[in-house]
């Protein structure tokens, strides 16, 4: 089987015939025939573009390939997302291809040690281990945890093979840590998981409200687009910290952590009181407004300012700005999604857009920004939390539809929903989950309260990890390790935050015996004996075609794209929905331009609830609130990929720093550079202090990239989305 669905010679040679093909160089060194021109052979350089494999912005990168090796990466100049820009991670995207330390062979734990084995042995071991656990403890005792970082086609194949082929019931993704809240909020309000915007909205708004989103660090190219907005917009940043993003704000609302829900109810009340709302839009396109208005009436300025810590003037000033806006866009990310009341908070943002009619027009929207390169792909096409394309696995008609389209028996499709990530972990504790297969995620670093998780993973009978690297915090605990190909080593698509589907290409041979995740899933299916179920899933291109069929008539319809070939031809990506027959890539697609939503009555809903307090509050012993998040544009999550680039390492801090306010530092007698212990009810971490007014007194901030951070975090979850609340834990900081 070839690793390359696309043979290298077929790469788009954009540069045409190169003069360096037979470059003539002058040998200038003494002793050589002076001035003689000799021909030097270089292989032709071809250039192919591929959507970046880090964040959800979805920039396109041009990979220059010579002698079947990538030699350079530069941002694509003609791609509508990034127009020739990239952040440091994009410029360093070649690191995983060239860095030492990539896993090159499957590993099996024997006598306590991981030892190299062949793929035949690895597949046999995988299947016999899963079968043994399932035979002893039931089909649902072996679960999987997947990712927003593999191509859509691989996600789809995994969801199909694991659930329809191997009979697994419980499978979730790291997108639970990230996007689950937005998914739940949109579904309840719009009837479908449907972020409505296009990036041009950053440039077309006259008021931009960013909530819990540090765009400058986490989505630098979106931030660049916001800075290109020619309308001199009001930029309102709602974040407890004075972030890099807040530096360009016209108004920074430094709210108390987790007070956003109250804030937005208060803003709604004021807008209604001032009649700064769109009554016609509300009447024609929404339901439940009267109840909403009655509910928010209690949130007067006194109550809001007490909860948020804002002074009345800045609070009312922000409302003036929103009320005066003609094109107001609301954007949110993890400051909202990761909270104990995250879903209702996101819905309070959606409510503001609805009641002011700021949706479905240029420069507007209630816009959740996704995180990982393919978080959007996982939301609709991974077959984990929902059945393909937003279908419901408990609905027999939906199961039959899917079975008919992919040509299998509907009985093979589980009729119960999967447990969420935290329920799978809880299932391990209770002995119900005995085996776990982890693909392209590193929970032993990233999961909340992971000190506990390490003990939990130890209880498993079998842990299988599939990753680029065998030395991640999770991989070193595995019983079986499967080495995977990474970005630009495989074919497929990613879907970015604005729903743009872009191509990812195989431009580099993965090291050693590493295989694409696609090949690994296929290999498992063959050895398991369910290969014949997936004959139509032979290549990533064929899987894309199947997904297009599955999407036909659904809100995320992609049947009109023309498959991988169509995407290759348009070369600028296509935003969903793209039903048959209307392909026009010049158009930036927004949802809800006609005011019709995906609910049964086509009206958007107002959903609300009384705010609740965070489960872990500051106390005498732990008087500070710990916020966590992205620390630098130059590092990605658990740093397995970016940590190996000397360039990126040089762009970030060398040590772990805890940001602390001058008053808190003074009270503890510490100054910048001092070593301190940050302690929570669950553990302690040593860090250096960075004294900065960017954090409020009573709060501290730690970047998530250090492997120790989640020893500290308090396990709280939103009850509807089950997303972890990474951004509110009580800690103490003391000099050591
Ligand atoms: N460089 C880099 N970029 C990345 C990533 C990376 O690892 N590195 N990861 C990607 C992924 S997967 C994701 S999900 C995104 C995340 O992107 P963001 O959500 O923008 O990043 P975070 O830093 O996690 O959180 C954003 C902000 O939330 C604030 N915050 C904390 N608590 C609250 C609160 O209660 N209310 C409000 N309003 N704000 C609060 C924090 O102070 C922080 O500044 O970034 C993506 N981009
Ligand atoms: N304290 C705190 N914790 C957090 C957060 C926070 O804000 N604060 N944010 C949370 C969020 S939003 C997220 S998204 C998670 C991210 O958490 P993780 O998903 O655990 O982090 P990554 O480092 O991105 O892990 C991805 C893994 O996949 C591997 N990989 C990359 N490409 C491929 C591939 O093509 N195939 C295979 N098989 N493997 C591949 C990488 O080597 C890496 O080990 O962290 C969460 N944790
Ligand atoms: S902004 Fe995101 S998509 Fe663009 S180059 Fe950086 S990491 Fe890649
Ligand atoms: Mo994320």
- For residue 631, the domain's CATH number is 2.40.40.20
**CATH number of the domain within which 432 lies:** 3.40.50.740
Q: Are residues 314 and 381 in the same domain?
A: no
- pLDDT cut 90: percent of the chain above it: 90
Angle at 332 between CA 715 and CA 698, to 5 degrees: 55
Report the C-alpha gap between 116 and 110 in whole angstroms.
Answer: 10
| Ramachandran angles phi, psi of 362, nearest 5° | -55, 140
Pocket around ligand 3 at a 6 A CB cut-off: 52, 54-55, 57-59, 82, 86-87, 89-90, 220-221
Q: Are residues 519 and 446 in the same domain?
A: yes
Query: Is the distance from CB of 374 to CB of 148 less than 8 angstroms?
Result: yes
In a domain, 565, yes or no: no
Last residue of a domain, one of 38, 65, 94: 94
Q: Are residues 311 and 256 in the same domain?
A: yes
**CATH number of the domain within which 232 lies:** 3.40.228.10
Last residue of a domain, one of 324, 344, 368: 368
Residue 531 has pLDDT above 90, yes or no: yes
Query: What is the sign of the dihedral through the CA atoms of 639, 642, 645 and 646?
Result: negative
Ligand having the closest approach to the CA of 369:
1
Q: Are residues 212 and 169 in the same domain?
A: no
Query: Is the distance from CB of 246 to CB of 239 less than 8 angstroms?
Result: yes
**pTM, 2 dp:** 0.94
Which pLDDT score is estimated for 40?
53
- Best of 51, 89, 497 to mutate for ligand 3, by most ligand atoms within 8 A of CB? 89
- Best of 49, 51, 52, 495 to mutate for ligand 3, by most ligand atoms within 8 A of CB? 52
Q: Are residues 360 and 242 in the same domain?
A: yes
Q: Are residues 547 and 510 in the same domain?
A: yes
Beta carbon of 446 within 6 Å of any ligand 2 atom: yes
Which pLDDT score is estimated for 32?
39
Q: Are residues 34 and 156 in the same domain?
A: no
Report the C-alpha gap between 544 and 153 in whole angstroms.
Answer: 6
Angle at 284 between CA 209 and CA 200, to 5 degrees: 35
In a domain, 609, yes or no: no
In the chain, how many domains are there?
4
Nearest atom in ligand 2 to 147's CA: 19
Beta carbon of 238 within 6 Å of any ligand 1 atom: yes
Ligand having the closest approach to the CA of 625:
1
Protein residue with least CA distance to atom 6, ligand 3: 87
Report the C-alpha gap between 220 and 211 in whole angstroms.
Answer: 16
Report how far ligand 1's centroid is from the alpha carbon of 257 (Å).
13
Protein residue with least CA distance to atom 17, ligand 2: 446
User: In which domain, by residue range, is 63 found?
Assistant: 9-94
Residue 38 has pLDDT above 90, yes or no: no
Each residue of 647-687: pLDDT tens digit?
A: 999 998 989 999 999 999 999 999 999 999 999 999 999 99
Protein residue with least CA distance to atom 30, ligand 1: 335
Q: Are residues 412 and 273 in the same domain?
A: no
Report how far ligand 4's centroid is from the alpha carbon of 377 (Å).
13
Nearest atom in ligand 3 to 90's CA: 5
Nearest atom in ligand 3 to 373's CA: 3
Each residue of 57-106: pLDDT tens digit?
A: 999 999 999 888 889 999 999 999 999 999 999 999 999 988 789 999 99
Range with the poorest average pLDDT among 520-524, 585-589, 664-668: 585-589
> The tokens of 228 are what?
């290109």
Q: Which residues pair with 286 in a beta bridge?
A: 604
Report how far ligand 4's centroid is from the alpha carbon of 280 (Å).
37
Each residue of 349-387: pLDDT tens digit?
A: 999 999 999 999 999 999 999 999 999 999 999 999 899
Report how far ligand 1's centroid is from the alpha carbon of 136 (Å).
42
Q: Which residues pair with 501 in a beta bridge?
A: 495, 574
In a domain, 611, yes or no: no
Beta carbon of 55 within 6 Å of any ligand 2 atom: no
Q: Are residues 207 and 90 in the same domain?
A: no
Beta carbon of 258 within 6 Å of any ligand 1 atom: yes
Protein residue with least CA distance to atom 4, ligand 3: 59
- Best of 145, 439, 440, 453 to mutate for ligand 2, by most ligand atoms within 8 A of CB? 440
Confidence of residue 21 (pLDDT cuts 50, 70, 90): very low
């Amino acid at each position: 089987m070839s690793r390359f669905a696309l043979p290298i010679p077929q790469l788009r040679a954009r540069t045409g015939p190169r003069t360096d093909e037979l470059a003539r160089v002058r040998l200038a060194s003494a002793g050589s025939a002076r001035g003689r021109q000799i021909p030097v052979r270089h292989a032709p350089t071809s250039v192919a573009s591929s959507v970046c494999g880090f964040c959800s912005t979805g920039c396109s990168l041009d990979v220059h390939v010579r002698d079947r090796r990538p030699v350079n990466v530069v941002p694509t100049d003609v791609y509508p997302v990034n127009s020739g820009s990239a952040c440091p991670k994009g410029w360093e995207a070649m690191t995983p291809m060239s860095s030492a330390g990539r896993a090159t062979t499957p590993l099996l734990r024997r006598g306590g040690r991981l030892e190299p084995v062949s793929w035949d042995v690895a597949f046999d071991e995988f299947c016999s281990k899963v079968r043994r656990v399932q035979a002893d403890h039931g089909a649902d005792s072996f679960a999987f945890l997947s990712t927003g970082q593999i191509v859509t086609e691989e996600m789809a194949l995994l969801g199909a093979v694991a659930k329809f082929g191997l009979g697994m019931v419980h499978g979730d993704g790291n997108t639970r840590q990230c996007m689950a809240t937005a998914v739940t909020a949109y579904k309840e309000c719009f009837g479908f998981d449907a972020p409505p915007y296009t990036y041009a909205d950053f440039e077309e708004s006259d008021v931009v409200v960013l909530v819990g989103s540090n765009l400058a660090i986490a989505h630098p190219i979106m931030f660049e687009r916001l800075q290109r907005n020619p309308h001199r917009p009001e930029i309102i940043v709602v974040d407890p910290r004075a972030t890099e993003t807040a530096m360009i704000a016209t108004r920074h609302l430094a709210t108390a952590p987790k007070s956003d829900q109250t804030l937005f109810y208060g803003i709604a009340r004021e807008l209604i009181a001032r009649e700064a709302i769109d009554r016609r839009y509300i009447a024609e396109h929404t339901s439940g407004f009267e109840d909403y208005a009655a509910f928010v009436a209690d949130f007067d300025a006194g109550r809001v300012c007490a909860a948020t810590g804002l002074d009345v003037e800045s609070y009312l000033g922000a409302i003036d700005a929103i009320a005066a806006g003609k094109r107001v866009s609301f954007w949110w990310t993890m400051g909202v999604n990761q909270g104990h009341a995250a879903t209702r908070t996101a819905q309070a943002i959606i409510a503001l857009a609805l009641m002011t009619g700021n949706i479905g027009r240029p420069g507007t929207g209630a816009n959740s920004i996704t995180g990982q390169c393919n978080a959007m792909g996982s939301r609709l096409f991974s077959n984990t939390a929902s059945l393909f394309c937003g279908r419901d696995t408990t609905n027999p008609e939906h199961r039959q539809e899917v079975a008919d389209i992919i040509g299998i028996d509907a009985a093979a499709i589980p009729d119960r929903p999967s447990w969420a990530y935290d329920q799978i972990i809880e299932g391990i504790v209770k002995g119900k989950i005995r085996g776990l297969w982890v693909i392209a995620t590193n929970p032993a670093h990233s999961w909340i309260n992971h000190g506990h998780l390490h003990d939990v993973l130890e209880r498993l009978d079998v842990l299988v990890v599939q990753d680029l690297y065998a030395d991640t915090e999770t991989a070193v605990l595995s019983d079986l390790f499967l080495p995977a190909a990474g970005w630009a080593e495989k074919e497929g698509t990613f879907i970015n935050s604005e729903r743009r589907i872009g191509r990812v290409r195989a431009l580099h041979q993965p090291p050693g015996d590493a295989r694409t995740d696609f090949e690994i899933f296929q290999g498992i299916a063959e050895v398991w004996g369910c290969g014949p179920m997936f004959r139509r899933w032979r290549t990533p291109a064929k899987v894309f075609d199947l997904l297009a069929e599955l999407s036909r008539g659904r809100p995320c319809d992609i049947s009109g794209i023309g498959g991988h070939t169509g995407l290759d031809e348009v070369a600028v990506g296509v935003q969903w929905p793209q039903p048959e027959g209307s392909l026009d890539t010049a158009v930036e697609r927004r949802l809800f331009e006609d005011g019709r939503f995906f609910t049964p009555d086509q009206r958007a809903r107002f959903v609300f609830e009384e705010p609740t307090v965070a489960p872990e509050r500051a106390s005498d012993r732990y008087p500070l609130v710990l916020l966590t998040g992205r620390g630098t544009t130059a590092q990605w999550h658990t740093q397995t990929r970016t940590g190996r680039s000397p360039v990126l390492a040089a762009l970030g801090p060398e040590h772990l720093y805890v940001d602390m306010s001058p008053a808190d530092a003074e009270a503890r007698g510490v100054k910048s550079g001092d070593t301190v212990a940050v302690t929570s009810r669950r553990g302690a971490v040593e860090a250096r202090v960075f004294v900065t007014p960017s954090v409020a007194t009573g709060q501290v901030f730690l970047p998530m990239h250090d492997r120790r951070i989640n020893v500290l975090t308090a396990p709280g979850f939103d009850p509807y989305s089950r997303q972890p609340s990474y951004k509110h834990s009580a800690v103490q900081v003391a000099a050591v």
